[in-house]
Structure 1
Amino acid sequence: MSRSCPSRDAGLFPSEAEIARRLSQTPQEWAAKAKVLERDGLPRVDPLMGGRFWPAVRAYFLARYGLAGAEALAPDGPENLDAL
């Protein structure tokens, strides 16, 4: 098993151990689950970069749980509760 590099884990192609940590999994759990999820569209490890593109992994999970089009909206102004 390869060791994580702190500076690499903060980047766009984190180690598998860091992805496991971000997803609240052990590295062993993640390795088994990633194989299954790849069949469903989870981005694979990029051979050139040596890791999964984190924004694509995040987008995969947001879509998996129906949040792909959800985004936070800016407030439209102060609330006027007297108008109710």
Structure 2
Amino acid sequence: MTRRSSHRDQGLFPCEAEIARRLSQTPAEWAAKAKILERDGLPKIDPLMGGRPWRAVQAFFDWRYGLSTVEAMAPDGLENLNVL
């Protein structure tokens, strides 16, 4: 029997369990490692979107393993839409 893919498994902001799967980790392993990797620049969970931006996660690992010369940047803070 195949597992049906949910909308949270796809797209730009996958859930933590899906990120763990894509990185060949169990969810528990990934949760522990993500806390450590965030100190080195792994993108944090975006509070508005409820997940990590997948392309930024990929860019982080490309940078970490010398596969890219571009460094992923973290958001500089919450947006204030009231100033518009």
- TM-score tier by shorter-chain length is 0.7 to 0.9
SS of 1:49's partner is coil
Q: Which residue of 2 aligns with 1:36?
A: 36
Structure 1's consecutive aligned runs of 4 or more residues displaced over 6 angstroms after TM superposition are none
State the alpha-carbon separation in 2 of the partners of residues 32 and 9 from structure 1: 20
Q: Which residue of 1 aligns with 2:8?
A: 8
Identity of aligned residues (%): 74
Q: Which residue of 2 aligns with 1:60?
A: 60
State the alpha-carbon separation in 1 of the partners of residues 8 and 25 from structure 2: 19
Q: Which residue of 1 aligns with 2:27?
A: 27
Q: Which residue of 2 aligns with 1:73?
A: none
Q: Which residue of 2 aligns with 1:49?
A: 49
Deviation at 1:47, TM superposition (A): 0.2
Instruction: Structure 2 unaligned segments of length 5 or more: list them.
Output: 70-84
State the alpha-carbon separation in 2 of the partners of residues 45 and 35 from structure 1: 11
State the alpha-carbon separation in 2 of the partners of residues 7 and 46 from structure 1: 17
Instruction: Structure 1 unaligned segments of length 5 or more: list them.
Output: 70-84
TM-score by length of 2: 0.74
Show CA shifts across 1:7-28 (max 9, x none): 1211100000000000000000
Aligned residues: 65
Larger C-alpha radius of gyration, 1 or 2? 1
